[in-house]
């Protein structure tokens, strides 16, 4: 069985990124790359690939802010220009939407960044 696994090609980069967005193991696709919202699982429960030493640092939050800003700003500007709703209504509405999108996308961005690091073998760890 080990010889068969050794001959398998690694997954393609789009596959690895897609698995990361789904918070799945980039190697085998088993769910569980993250636990407790943002904590990295030490190793895959199926294939045993180790992830605990990967350090994504600030990239997932930066990526999340970049995406959320580009999703929220165009409709916010359009709404203001088309209907001029009250400022308090916009403040509450856009805050809720921004917070929800951020909480939804942050673990997915972290999964994608960790998967990309895994694919590039850029561990970002203190390991020598």
Point out which span in 3-11, 25-33, 87-95, 100-108 binds Zn ion (CB under 5 A). 25-33
Q: Which helix (H) or strand (E) holds 65?
A: helix 59-83
Residue 44 binding Zn ion, by CB under 5 A: yes
How many CB atoms are located within 10 Å of the residue 40 CB? Answer: 18
Residue 120: φ, ψ to 5°:
-90, 0
Find out whether 51 and 114 touch, Cβ atoms under 8 Å. Answer: yes
- Distance of closest approach, residue 43 Cβ to Zn ion, in angstroms: 8
Q: CA angle, corner 69, sides to 26 and 89, nearest 5?
A: 130
- Distance of closest approach, residue 4 Cβ to Zn ion, in angstroms: 16
Subset of residues 84 to 123 that bind Zn ion, contact rule: CB under 5 A: none
Candidates 15, 21, 28, 98; binder of Zn ion (CB under 5 A) is 28
Q: Would you tell me which residues interact with Zn ion (CB under 5 A)? A: 25, 27-28, 30, 44, 46-47, 49
């Amino acid at each position: 069985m080990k010889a068969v696994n050794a001959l398998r090609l690694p997954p393609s980069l789009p596959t690895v990124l897609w698995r990361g967005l789904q918070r799945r193991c980039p190697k085998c696709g088993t769910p569980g790359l993250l636990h407790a919202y943002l904590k990295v699982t030490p190793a895959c429960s199926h294939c045993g690939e180790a992830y605990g030493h990967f350090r994504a640092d600030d990239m997932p939050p930066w990526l999340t802010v970049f995406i959320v800003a580009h999703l929220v700003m165009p409709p916010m500007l359009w709404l203001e220009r088309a209907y001029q709703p009250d400022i308090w209504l916009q403040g509450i509405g856009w805050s809720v939407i921004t917070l929800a999108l951020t909480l939804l996308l942050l673990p997915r961005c972290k999964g994608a960044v960790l998967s990309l690091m895994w694919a590039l073998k850029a561990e970002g760890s203190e390991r020598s």
